[in-house]
Amino acid sequence: MAAYLIADIDVLDPTGFSEYQQQVPATIAQYGGRYLVRGGSPETLEGAWSPKRCVVLEFPNMAQLKTWYASPEYAPLIAIRERTTRSKLVATEGI
């Protein structure tokens, strides 16, 4: 079953975050993932959630998603993201 990572990212340091943006796509592809949503202008239709930047990634399964997230290739990029953004991430399986 496919697995999805959904991220709400508030960019605090656009210059620093650009390094993350340039490097992360290759790591996602390396682990079988792909972007479904990247950036854009989120619009809240219901509730109090107001995402700043929305990203949705699709992986073949949850094991691949978790392998990517814990990978040595992604680890230094997590540090960049944590330093340059305020982020909320959730992983879920689905169709």
What is the percent of the chain with per-residue pLDDT over 70, rounded to a whole number?
100
Reported as a pLDDT band with limits 50, 70 and 90, residue 40 is confident
Closest residue by Cα to residue 57 from 48, 70, 44, 66: 66
Nearest 5°: phi and psi at 68? -60, -50
pLDDT per residue over 56-85, tens digit each?
999 999 999 999 999 999 999 999 999 999
Q: What residue type is assigned to position 2 of the chain? A: A
Q: Alpha-carbon distance 21 to 17, whole Å?
A: 6
> How far, in Å, CA of 44 to CA of 2, rounded?
25
Task: Give the residue-averaged pLDDT of 24-33.
Answer: 98
Domains of the chain by residue range: 2-42+50-94
CATH numeric code, 2-42+50-94: 3.30.70.100
State the pTM of this model.
Answer: 0.93
Average pLDDT over the chain, rounded to whole?
Answer: 96
